[in-house]
Structure 1
Amino acid sequence: MTTPAIPSRWQQAWRLARRLFVYEVGMWRSLYRWVLRRPLVTEDGGASFGYAQAMTPVIWVFIVLSAIEIPAVDLLLPWESARLTLAFLGVYGLVWMIGLLAMVKVHPHLVVPSGLRLRHAATIALPIPWENVVSVSARNRSAPASRTFQYEQTADGTVMSIVILSQTNVDVVLREPTVFHLPKGPTEPVTHVRVWADDPKALVAAAREHLTRSGAPAA
């Protein structure tokens, strides 16, 4: 007796629910670490590089607006049940926005002896060993859209950009096409990864130092 196939729409709904659950857990865990000042442990001899400086003012605007909205709604609505419901949702939304800020604060890019760890929030971590890195360089680029993940086909292969406010400023050239595993599934085989860092020159300098130590050529 064969098990009937699950309709694709239910599979998609299940995957979406699972991604949302993982994201929610990551948000609360990040908030816990941020409030208690417990950063993630990194390898000895490594360094972390933030990428949240540009987006932090935007997130704070939403946090302030959410905080103002809670008492405003309470004053405007005459129905107690509606006020309590919306107050709960408002407080949860406010905490969620603070958690979003915590996620990008406590999950920076890492340059460690084993390689690069390029990250975005709590659910994205791209491990790149030094033997798969040809070069790391700083270059400001504007992305054609605001989506976090973007792909571009070039003569040298596929470029994957992890965008912050439609920009990147660090280019990583890979030695061979690499597939990364994201919450939505595996990426295309990519030969270049572009990210944003608050201090791109410092990240590039640290990466080149590790490349030299590892014996890989630093272009």
Structure 2
Amino acid sequence: MIETSTPTRPTLAARTRHFARRAWKMEEAVWVSLYRFIFRRPRVPAGATAIPYHAPVVTIMIVFIALSAVEIPIIDLIAHPWPWVRYPLLIAGIWGVTWMVGLLFGFLTRPHAVGPEGIRVRSGAEIDIDLPWSVVDRVIRSREVVEKAPKIQDGEHGRTLALRMQNETNLLVVLERPVEVSLPTGAETIDAVRFWADDSDAFMSAVRTHIP
């Protein structure tokens, strides 16, 4: 008889440690993004062309930031008679706005990049996929709109990672061989990457300068 093992579910302690590590990394990334934006140090490899991808979400994020900033003085006025309530809410409000600004700056300071070494596909401060030219089979335009779909799923080109912006992607990188990538949820092996670029023409033009 062949025995099959069932995957073990992570313990509560393991899930708590994972959540704490991810929260810490996100907090760190927010402050690094603020630093990079203020001192104009976008994370673009030397000689690479930067291609932004934030257009579909930037307006929504700015609206949320503005609304959150407006809430701070309103809540401060309401809670003014109770300092023990007022100050924690004030600190939380300022931290929340700062965090959202840093989140936005993560998109602005970490664009996609196409350079001599290969392609870097980004999604804010959390995801940075390094694809050397040696593992890239082809890059094609491939528009896809999918709602409520997992980031990784099996498709025509194998196990595909989709970094959607407002549920959309417009470019596809098909790989020569499976590649292991690091995601916030852990390491994954993929065969292709779908993603969004604000200017797909500029992206393809940059690719053609390095591969036929």
User: TM-score scaled to structure 1, two decimals?
Assistant: 0.87
Equivalent pair of 1:136/1:208 in contact (CA under 8 Å) = no
Distance 2:25 2:70 in 1: 29
SS in 1 for 2:209: helix
Aligned-pair CA distance for 1:8: 2.4
Establish whether residue 30 from structure 1 lines up as the match of residue 33 from structure 2: yes
User: Are the structure 2 counterparts of residues 124 and 168 from structure 1 closer, same or farther at C-alpha, using a change threshold of 3 Å?
Assistant: same
Partner of 2:5: none
How many residue pairs were aligned?
202
1:51 aligns with 2:53: yes
- 1:76 corresponds in structure 2 to 78
Q: Per-residue deviation at 1:165?
A: 0.8
Question: CA shift at 1:144, angstroms?
Answer: 2.7
AA aligned to 1:192 is A
Task: Tell me which moved more, 175-184 or 198-207.
Answer: 175-184
1:132 to 128, 135, 138: 135
Structure 2: distance between partners of 1:79 and 1:207: 59
- Asked if the contact 2:44/2:50 (under 8 Å) is kept, the reply is no
Question: Please, what is the CA RMSD of the aligned residues?
Answer: 1.6
Q: Displacement of 1:155 after TM fit?
A: 4.0
The answer to whether structure 1 residue 8 and structure 2 residue 25 are counterparts is: no
Give a deviation string over 1:98-135, Cα, whole Å, max 9, x none.
Answer: 11111110001110111111111122111111121111
Deviations 1:50-103 (A, max 9, x none): 111111101001111111100111222242221111111111101111111111
- Give, as a single letter, the amino acid of the residue that structure 2 aligns with 1:99: G
**Of residues 95, 102, 113 in structure 2, which corresponds to 1:92?**
95
Once residues 141 and 156 of structure 1 are traced to their aligned partners in structure 2, the CA distance between those partners, rounded to angstroms, is 14
**1:39-188 mapped onto 2 (5 Å cutoff):** 39-44=42-47, 46-77=48-79, 78-145=81-148, 150-187=151-188
CA distance in 2 between counterparts of 1:48 and 1:166 reads: 22
Structure 1 CA distance for aligned equivalents of residues 156 and 63 of structure 2? 41
Describe the superposition over 1:12-39 as per-residue Cα deviations: whole angstroms up to 9, x where unpaired.
2112111111111111011011012122
The aligned residue for residue 199 of structure 1 is 199
Partner Cα separation in structure 2 for residue 128 and residue 41 of structure 1: 14
Q: Are residues 1:211 and 2:211 paired?
A: yes
Counterpart CA distance in 2 for 1:195 and 1:88 is: 36
Tell me: CA distance 1:17–1:119, structure 2 relative to 1, closer, same or farther (3 Å).
Answer: same
Q: Distance in 1 between matches of 2:193 and 2:117?
A: 18
Q: Any conservation in 2 of the 1:138–1:201 contact (CA below 8 Å)?
A: no
Q: Is the 8 A contact 2:43 2:111 kept in 1?
A: no
SS for the counterpart of 1:117 is strand
Q: Give the 3 Å change call, closer, same or farther, for CA 37–156 of structure 1 in structure 2.
A: closer
Is the alpha carbon distance of 1:51 and 1:28 closer, same or farther for their aligned partners in structure 2, counting shifts above 3 Å?
Answer: same
